[in-house]
Structure 1
């Protein structure tokens, strides 16, 4: 079916994915500068997501990873990225397609992107991608899981950054 207009939402979605790919490629080349770190939430049900069975069982729908102190084997390609993170002293490789991303947040500079899932045929502007607004007061408090895995595999909830 031919489109009758410009797909701004789809174009913005792809541009945001390219931005994240460029940021991750910069980390591969130069490491994480200063206080930069990332919370990346993704849909674990996406066909292209590769992760250990025990992680998929623990996070059957959505998972947030933290790229900060310890990570290894970060690679980026046209469709997504791979990374090894440490979950309870167990290094686990992950493959995350860009299409599986739900949020990307760098709280050190109050930057965030949210990828909204769009229903087929939906023209509602509220379904388009939007930017997450972060504030200093929103970073206080403990909204993370009760028992975070040690060693850099912390999974956090992003509700504290949502308005």
Structure 2
């Protein structure tokens, strides 16, 4: 007897259509180190780093002041353009984060570092923010004070 039931196959992850990063060990930077970079930029008004939030549909609870949003799901195909823009702006550190920096943020940082390495660039470094935005938002008032659109209830419940 034949069954009319079909097996449900879960969709492939969003990143499955792109090559895996060549490395699985990203350069890391802590929340404290990023805070010091932000403080130094306040004093000198010079900034040689960029913060990139790669969240898309979970872009809630706030973001680090001054960061840009490049959803990871659309990042891979635009890497050459972002590289050119960052180089033209004098960026030395591209700092990536998602909610925890254990998935999208790490993957984006590694893809970008692959591109940097393939360009024989020794000046620009791609880094992952350890513990992501969740680590930042739960690290105390000094960190919260450097967030845009901070929603306290979001971080209390997550």
Is the TM-score greater than 0.5? no
Q: TM-score, normalised by structure 2?
A: 0.25
Q: TM-score, normalised by structure 1?
A: 0.25
Relative contact order, CA 8 A, sep 6+: which one is greater?
A: 2
When Rg is computed on C-alpha atoms for both structures, the one with the higher figure is: 2
Q: Please identify which structure carries the higher strand content.
A: 1
